[in-house]
């Protein structure tokens, strides 16, 4: 794969995430960002593991409790088992999943993502969520999902890479708008409200290596759910969303830099 497409001279959020979680699909620049960020905020690894746990928990909830049998996952990241399709197809083997990411490395792992159940189907498309029309008009999506039927949209650990507030709200709204009534959205939004000094250093470190990101307040996070019906407990730090209180007690609020919520489209 051409190095230019991989942007090996710049960090990429998915590859930094892969490095922090012990993966091997990353480059020197990603490891530099990861190491410097861990020095600034040692909780980064805890935070990233909790982001993945939120994805598992929310997807399982939507499949088991809300009967979702179609998922559109934006910002998939480098595959790490269990992937979303493994979680939901364990509950309902007929479930269909479309993955979307803008990192060419993820495309190279697409075969792993597409090894779903025989009854269901998984597919992968390379696209940037800033171009929702490309996603919505893609062959991969149109041949896998029926958007006249309720669908779960999962957007985990990705909107903080869209710096402009209006653009971030626009692209999420566009993806939600095409979904029929009875669909669901699981979304996380990065925040620095619980460890501002350390996270200012993390953000500067990412920006210095070509991958700027944006923290948002709780009020700004709640705007992404305008027009939707929030499921209890609403917009909360992601480790607190429908989690065993005994497990929450072992995680400090200052170790989590992301809000999470699940909402229904009326």
Q: Is the pLDDT of residue 211 over 70?
A: yes
Q: For residues 191 and 217, what is the distance between their CA atoms, to the nearest angstrom?
A: 6
Beta strands at 258-264 and 236-237: parallel, antiparallel or unpaired: antiparallel
For 137-159, the pLDDT digits (tens) are: 999 999 999 999 999 999 999 99
Q: What is the pLDDT of residue 114?
A: 66
**What pLDDT score does 4 carry?**
38
pLDDT digits (tens, 9 = 90+) for 45-101: 999 999 999 999 999 999 999 999 999 999 988 877 899 999 999 999 999 999 999
Q: Which residues contact 244 (CB under 8 A, 6 or more apart)?
A: none
Answer yes or no: is pLDDT of 3 > 50: no
Residue 153 CA to residue 262 CA, distance in Å, equals: 10
Cα(12)–Cα(27) distance, rounded to whole angstroms? 9
Considering the chain, what is the average pLDDT of its residues? Answer: 92
Of the ranges 6-10, 79-83, 175-179, 222-226, which one carries the lowest mean pLDDT score? Answer: 6-10
Does the predicted TM-score (pTM) go above 0.75? yes
What fold does the segment set 3-264 form as a domain?
A: Rossmann fold (3.40.50)
Q: Residue 80: what pLDDT?
A: 79
Angle at 65 between CA 59 and CA 70, to 5 degrees: 50
pLDDT for residue 92: 97
- Delimit the domains of the chain by residue range: 3-264
Non-local (6+) Cβ contacts of 52 within 8 A are: 21, 80
Query: Is 168's pLDDT higher than 90?
Result: yes
């Amino acid at each position: 794969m051409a190095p230019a497409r991989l942007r090996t001279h710049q960090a990429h959020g998915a590859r930094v995430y892969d490095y922090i979680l012990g993966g091997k699909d990353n480059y020197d620049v990603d490891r530099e960002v990861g190491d410097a960020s861990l020095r600034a905020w040692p909780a980064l690894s805890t935070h990233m593991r909790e982001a993945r746990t939120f994805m598992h928990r929310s997807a399982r909830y939507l499949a088991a409790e809300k009967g979702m049998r179609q998922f559109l996952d934006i910002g998939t990241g480098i595959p790490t088992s269990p992937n979303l399709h493994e979680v939901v197809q364990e509950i309902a083997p007929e479930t269909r999943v479309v993955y979307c990411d803008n990192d060419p490395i993820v495309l190279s792992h697409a075969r792993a993502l597409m090894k779903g159940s025989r009854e269901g189907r998984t597919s992968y498309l390379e696209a940037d969520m800033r171009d929702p029309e490309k996603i919505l008009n893609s062959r991969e999506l149109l041949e896998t999902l029926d958007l006249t039927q309720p669908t779960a949209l999962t957007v985990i650990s990705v909107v903080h890479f869209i710096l402009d507030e209006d653009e971030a709200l626009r692209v999420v709204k566009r993806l939600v708008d095409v979904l029929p009534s009875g669909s669901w959205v699981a979304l996380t939004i990065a925040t620095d409200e619980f460890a501002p000094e350390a996270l200012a250093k993390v953000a500067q470190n990412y920006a210095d290596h070509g991958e700027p990101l944006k923290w948002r307040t709780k009020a700004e996070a709640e705007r992404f759910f305008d027009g939707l019906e929030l499921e209890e407990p609403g917009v909360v730090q992601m480790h607190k969303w429908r989690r065993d209180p005994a497990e929450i007690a072992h995680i400090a609020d200052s170790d989590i830099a992301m809000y999470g919520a699940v909402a229904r489209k009326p």
